[in-house]
Amino acid sequence: MSSTALGNHILVEFMNCDPHVMNDVAAIERDMVGAARKAEATVINSTFHHFSPYGVSGVVVIQESHLAIHTWPEYGYAAVDVFTCGDMNAWIAFDHLKECFGAKSYSAIEMKRGSVNLLTRNDFDITSAREKAAEWRNPDFYTRNVWFTDKDEDQALSLRFTGDVFFDVQSPFQRVRILESTKYGKMLALDDMVMTTIKDEFHYHEMIAHPSLFTLQNAKNVLVIGGGDGGTVREVLRHSNIEKVTMVEIDGEVIKACKEHLPEIAAAFDDPRLELIVDDGIAFVKNAADAVYDLLIVDGSDPVGPAEGLFSVDFYQNCYRTLKADGILVAQGESPKFNEKAFAELNQTLQSIFGKDNAPVGLFFVPTYPTGMWSFQYGLKGAADPRKVTNTDAIKSFVAQKGLRYYNEDIHFSTFALPNFVKELVKK
């Protein structure tokens, strides 16, 4: 570093980069830390955030200062700055990033920072400071903060994850990834939305299955639309009265990813009572026969991409038709606090098809979904109504026998006790 300046700052515009890379927080974190290492810098800390629907910001703090980045995938653009002091050659980092990002064009300016001619040196005991710093410095240890953020315009949920990616495939329907969050363990993300994590999946999967199965008591034939992680069929197949479960998942990559990396959730795919079909659930229900299913579970993702049609009136009219006279429908119902509109519209649809009093809402909590407050929405075709269940002893012994961790005979009823603002949202 020249004797005239304390630091050297390169400001870079990387353009025409690969938009997918520009939207990949794990890849960008890996490349930025890699660039620092390539330039023989000592990495102290890295903090990276992925923003939904797209864009990444992050910084790598190095002993020699920092590397920072902000990306606009929609423009294939990354604004990068490399600030160094000491002998580190920042241009080595620049070259590494240019290659990693596949930047077809760029511009860069270099500026000296902290011109010593303009600065006055304080009387500072450098020796004790150096000794003190030596205590802190451990080149092998650096904290990685790679954050995954699921947000809408006004609110977000961020999960810190290790940066390790176990599965990453762009399927014809969505991007399927298995990541590892530091608090909730391995997780399935579809198009950057958290679908399920090892540490809180039971909240969702126990509540999607058991309230209805204890209402029907002797269900035999169940249809599951979606549910590619396998958690829903795992819970349904815990019931010995079940003879057949048909699961129709549109994306085979989801099943593959979960079988390989989330075996605790994808635990029942070999059950002989399960027929696993990789197909569009909307078309499947449209072509299904009348009155064949006791229980129909819609374990779909949010109303975007392949799952958009899983919120349509047509789809639910077909669901109604294919249910037996006393059948029950349960649908992943979104959140009254995150996407109120989709939540309320779905309930109006179910009321219009099943009847105003036959579309109850069950609330429950999933810490890794934005706001944590989520719902299952019901369609009751006949008299079977989870709010009128009496066999609580059967629930109690089943919960004890199976070691369930969320669902029990109290939660079975409390899930239908709605706060006033939710009652307003689903008013008849």
Task: Give contact residues for ligand SAM (rule: CB under 6 A).
Answer: 190, 195-196, 204, 225-229, 248-251, 254, 280-282, 299-302, 306-307, 309-310, 332
Alpha helices in 294-391 (DSSP H): 313-322, 340-354
Contacts 24+ apart (CB under 8 A), 343-346: 343/375, 343/425, 344/425, 344/426, 345/311, 346/311, 346/377
* CA distances in angstroms from 230 to 131, 201, 216, 335, listed in the order given: 55, 11, 22, 22
Say how many Å lie between the first and final Cα of the chain, rounded. 72
* Burial of 369: CB neighbours in 10 Å, binned 0-12, 13-18, 19+: buried
Residue of 257, 29, 233, 252 whose CA lies nearest to 146 = 29
Min separation Cβ 298 and ligand SAM, Å: 9
Min separation Cβ 302 and ligand SAM, Å: 6
User: How far apart, in whole angstroms, are the C-alpha atoms of residue 54 and residue 329?
Assistant: 34
Give the 3-state secondary structure of residue 102. Answer: coil
Min separation Cβ 182 and ligand SAM, Å: 21
Min separation Cβ 48 and ligand SAM, Å: 24
Min separation Cβ 117 and ligand SAM, Å: 60
* Burial of 139: CB neighbours in 10 Å, binned 0-12, 13-18, 19+: exposed
| Closer residue to ligand SAM, CB minimum distance, 30 or 210 | 210
The encoded tokens of residue 376 equal: 């299952």
Min separation Cβ 291 and ligand SAM, Å: 22
- Percentage helix, strand, coil for the chain under 3-state DSSP, each rounded to 5: 35, 35, 35
Min separation Cβ 399 and ligand SAM, Å: 22
User: How far apart, in whole angstroms, are the C-alpha atoms of residue 264 and residue 243?
Assistant: 22
User: How far apart, in whole angstroms, are the C-alpha atoms of residue 234 and residue 242?
Assistant: 12
Min separation Cβ 419 and ligand SAM, Å: 20
CB 219 within 8 A of CB 242: yes
Q: Which residues contact 359 (CB under 8 A, 6 or more apart)?
A: 347, 350, 351, 377, 378, 379, 380, 426
Amino acid at 66: H
Residue of 182, 196, 170 whose CA lies nearest to 262 = 196
- Please tell me which residue in 299, 326, 357, 385 is annotated as part of the active site: 299
Tokens 């040196």 belong to which residue?
A: 121
User: How far apart, in whole angstroms, are the C-alpha atoms of residue 20 and residue 278?
Assistant: 26
Q: Strands, E, within 55-122: which ranges?
A: 56-62, 65-72, 77-84, 105-115
299 an active-site residue?
yes
What residues act catalytically?
Answer: 299
